Amino acid sequence: MRVFRSGKKNRRMARGCRGKRYSYPFVDAFIGRSYPAASPLRSCRRYSRCVSWNGEGIRRAMAALVIRNARRINPDDGTDERGDLYIIDGRIAEGSEISPSEAAVFDADGRIVVPALIDLHVHLREPGNEAAETTATGLRAARMAGFGVVVAMPNTIPPIDTPEHVRAALRRAAAVEDGAILLQSACLTRSREGRAVADLEALAAAGASAFTDDGSTPPEDVIMREAMDRAAALGLPILDHAQDPTLERRGVMHEGRCSQRRGVPGIPAAAEIRIIERDIRLARETGARVHIQHVSTAEGVACIRAARAEGLPVSGETTPHHLTWIDEDVRLENPNFKVNPPLRSRADREALIQGVLEGTLSCLATDHAPHTIEAKARGFEKAPPGMVGLETAIGVTWTRLVIEYGMPPIEWLRRWTTGPAAVLGLPPPSLRPGVPADLVLLDVTTPWTVRADWFLSKSRNTPFMGHKLWGRAVAVWKKGRQVREVPWAS
Ligand SMILES: [Zn+2]
């Protein structure tokens, strides 16, 4: 084996690539983690020889993979084309960079390869309710379901409202092997009580990615306004659970004919609309980036449409379950239908679908809300709201939007990638050379039935159990390495 030493002969060999001279630091940079996308080695025909100079060390670092026969959909530039995808050392590469004899090959068999998805809205339940979910189970479930990044909500017990809590959450996530990357949101107000704005500056310094009191919203305008002012100065978004607590009362489903017929208290649509209107007004005054979580009403969509037309930095998400069910579907004997905000009217659902199709709602998000069997067994009125959503997210939204409503796959993908990335201020997920190879292989042609034993989340509270869906992740790669077999792929 040749050993790389400084010396005339080796310098000559390093110059040998199309006659250009490459310095040794360049080779070091190339084998390191962050070689530049526009690396001159792209055009180096003697690349495999270059590799052998440094023996085993370089060989290990230069792990190469070709994903063949793929339908590559790139939400960043809008391309949707057939071809191969090349990965070197954990990053997407140009085909000319790869020495075919050294690369591992994965046959995509015509299936879709996309950048890993982003979920803006996940409850990991740690600390405080580890029986329902933990950081490890939630992040692994997310990765296997096709998500590369998730934003965890801070309404844990205790809530994540101090820098120490933010740091602890990020430490827990860093210890999870094969998980999605955690972005931790922190509370808007101290103890999530809505009375005094939390130390947003310290929370941001500790690594918080966004601010939210998810589960509720600060009821007083003056508190939200101060929070927006300070978040705007920090350049971080506010994610708001838009629901007026004075109108929400003890409601357990959408207020309307269905709730009256069933004799249970309802949550009126006005509870959401009033807070969305307030948040838009305050975004206009403060310049803060405001993202409305789990939009559930037609009028909410209309407010966001008007705000965006005005050029305000306002965005919105909706969930797979709000795109699927309405209040008429709610069965009081099945508390898995209890969610917050509630499943609304037929007209609301149609407006949400239109909002996603046209891009007024630029994001889809799961609101993954795990609960134990015991917690959901307390009966509809007493059970906590929420359903698990990671494992079914791709299937439900692909089936509903792409198959039933004819949404172009690229647009569907953007609601799960570039839309959320823009909210968070992240670079757009992409298949461009140089970008870390966090990828997902999607099978959208084989129907599958939702089964409890395929869930990696700790909880199973979903009314989608037994549903037939199209679309799911069948292989996932994290930094170019295939994460262990997806349980439902075989
Ligand atoms: Zn919420």
CATH number at residue 68: 2.30.40
| Section 126-147 average pLDDT | 97
C-alpha 243 – ligand 1 centre gap (Å): 9
C-alpha 336 – ligand 1 centre gap (Å): 16
Average pLDDT value for the chain: 88
Same domain, 167 and 104: no
In-domain check, residue 447: yes
In-domain check, residue 237: yes
| Section 17-27 average pLDDT | 30
In-domain check, residue 366: yes
Pair of tokens at residue 94: 């140009």
Q: How many domains does the chain have?
A: 2
pLDDT at 416 exceeding the cut of 60? yes
Task: Give, for 307, the enclosing helix (H) or strand (E).
Answer: helix 298-309
In-domain check, residue 485: no
Q: Which residue has the higher pLDDT, 8 or 326?
A: 326
In-domain check, residue 1: no
Same domain, 198 and 274: yes
Same domain, 290 and 191: yes
Same domain, 462 and 415: yes
| Section 400-414 average pLDDT | 98
Same domain, 82 and 155: no
Sign, Cα dihedral of 423, 170, 154, 131: positive
- Catalytic residue numbers, as ranges: 367
C-alpha 294 – ligand 1 centre gap (Å): 7
C-alpha 100 – ligand 1 centre gap (Å): 49
pLDDT band with cut points at 50, 70 and 90 for residue 486: low
Same domain, 157 and 248: yes
Same domain, 345 and 382: yes
Q: What angle do CA 486, 294, 412 make, to 5 degrees?
A: 50
In-domain check, residue 164: yes
Pair of tokens at residue 266: 């309802």
pLDDT band with cut points at 50, 70 and 90 for residue 63: confident
Convert the pLDDT of each residue in 325-356 to its tens digit.
999 999 999 999 999 999 999 999 999 999 99
Question: What's the pLDDT score for residue 216?
Answer: 96
pLDDT band with cut points at 50, 70 and 90 for residue 487: low
C-alpha 194 – ligand 1 centre gap (Å): 15
Same domain, 134 and 170: yes
Domain containing 173 equals 116-476
C-alpha 217 – ligand 1 centre gap (Å): 9
C-alpha 374 – ligand 1 centre gap (Å): 22
| Section 429-447 average pLDDT | 97
Read off the CATH number of the domain in which 423 is found. Answer: 3.20.20.140
In-domain check, residue 3: no
CB 391 within 8 A of CB 451: no
C-alpha 260 – ligand 1 centre gap (Å): 24
Convert the pLDDT of each residue in 80-102 to its tens digit.
999 999 999 999 999 888 877 78
List residues, by chain if needed, whose CB lies under 5 Å from ion ligand 1. 214, 241
Convert the pLDDT of each residue in 292-317 to its tens digit.
999 999 999 999 999 999 999 999 99
CB 142 within 8 A of CB 183: no
Q: Can you give the pTM of this predicted structure?
A: 0.87
Same domain, 187 and 270: yes
Convert the pLDDT of each residue in 220-250 to its tens digit.
999 999 999 999 999 999 999 999 999 987 8
In-domain check, residue 259: yes
Same domain, 70 and 175: no
Same domain, 252 and 193: yes
User: Which alpha helices (H) appear in 184-293, and where do they start and end?
Assistant: 200-205, 221-234, 245-248, 257-262, 269-286
Convert the pLDDT of each residue in 151-209 to its tens digit.
999 999 999 999 999 999 999 999 999 999 999 999 999 999 999 999 999 999 999 99
Cβ-based burial of 410 (10 A; exposed 0-12, middle 13-18, buried ≥19): middle
| Section 405-420 average pLDDT | 98
Residue 223: how many other CB atoms lie within 10 Å: 18
Same domain, 40 and 177: no
